[in-house]
């Protein structure tokens, strides 16, 4: 059974940093692109970043470029999102999602990041 | 960036109704479009990809059509579990962009 489990969310002050993790199981992690997608409270979905199977290609939405870094460790079946210089508008539930074809044939349950003083 | 515009933003319907949601792209995206259903407090679930390919395990009452700039999600007979919010996503270009969502609630 495919499972994606996010962790690392929490409360952080504006300008702070946080690192999210997504533990994958039930499939060959190194065969798939992976994405992070977020959803601000009461708002729609926003794609944040994705990464190729081998980590050799990464893409970001403009609003997080230079502040967020997506990475993966295929030996540990894990996806990461390092977030720095956080802003209140980064407050959201962050989902990791597998690309079976395009993004999102499987999703994690999400982890909430709150940026507030 | 490619802008995705969904219509309507919300609709009210009854169980058994036929429902149609439209997604328009600001430029041609071929058939690089997916549809998702999201229930409150839950992760999205992919229904359709490549504009018209039904995700494995998704009921056949869901159908997708379109190409280029105009796309449609049709639910042929609305079921209780279909009262939710629906999103389209283009994956033709970067950044990937979602529509703003269509909330389907009970009439």
- Given a cut of 90, is residue B5 above it in pLDDT? yes
pLDDT of residue A64: 98
d(C-alpha B71, C-alpha B51), whole Å: 7
- Given a cut of 90, is residue B51 above it in pLDDT? yes
- Given a cut of 90, is residue A104 above it in pLDDT? no
- For A102, the closest of B45, B49, B99 (CB atoms) is B49
Distance from CA of A76 to the nearest CA of B (A): 24
State the pLDDT confidence band at A49, using cuts at 50, 70 and 90.
Answer: very high
From chain A, pick out residues whose CB is under 8 angstroms from the CB of B1: 62
Dihedral (CA of B65, A95, A65, A91) sign: positive
Residues of A with CB under 8 A from a CB of B: 35, 37, 44-47, 50, 59-62, 95, 101-105, 107-110
Give me chain B's average pLDDT, please: 97
pLDDT of residue A81: 98
pLDDT of residue A100: 79
> In the predicted model, what is the mean pLDDT of residues A97-106?
88
pLDDT of residue B106: 87
d(C-alpha B19, C-alpha B1), whole Å: 29
């Amino acid at each position: 059974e495919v499972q994606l489990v996010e962790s690392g969310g929490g409360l952080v002050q504006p300008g702070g940093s946080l690192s999210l993790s997504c533990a994958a199981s039930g499939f060959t992690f190194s065969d798939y692109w992976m994405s992070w997608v977020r959803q601000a409270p009461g708002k729609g979905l926003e794609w944040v970043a994705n990464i190729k199977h081998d980590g050799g290609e990464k893409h970001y939405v403009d609003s997080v470029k230079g502040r967020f870094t997506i990475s993966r460790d295929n030996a540990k079946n894990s996806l990461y999102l390092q977030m720095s210089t956080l802003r209140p508008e980064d407050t959201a539930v962050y989902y990791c999602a597998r690309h079976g074809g395009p993004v999102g044939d499987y999703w994690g349950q999400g982890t909430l990041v709150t940026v507030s003083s | 960036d490619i802008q995705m515009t969904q219509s309507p933003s919300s609709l009210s319907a009854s169980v058994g109704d036929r429902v149609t949601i439209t997604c328009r792209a600001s430029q041609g995206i071929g058939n690089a479009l997916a549809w998702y259903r999201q229930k409150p407090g839950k992760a999205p679930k992919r229904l359709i990809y490549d504009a018209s390919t039904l995700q494995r395990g998704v009921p056949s009452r869901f159908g997708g059509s379109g190409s280029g700039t105009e796309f449609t999600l049709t639910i042929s007979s609305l079921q209780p579990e279909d009262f939710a919010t629906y999103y389209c996503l283009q994956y033709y270009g970067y950044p990937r962009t979602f529509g703003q969502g269509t909330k389907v609630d009970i009439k």
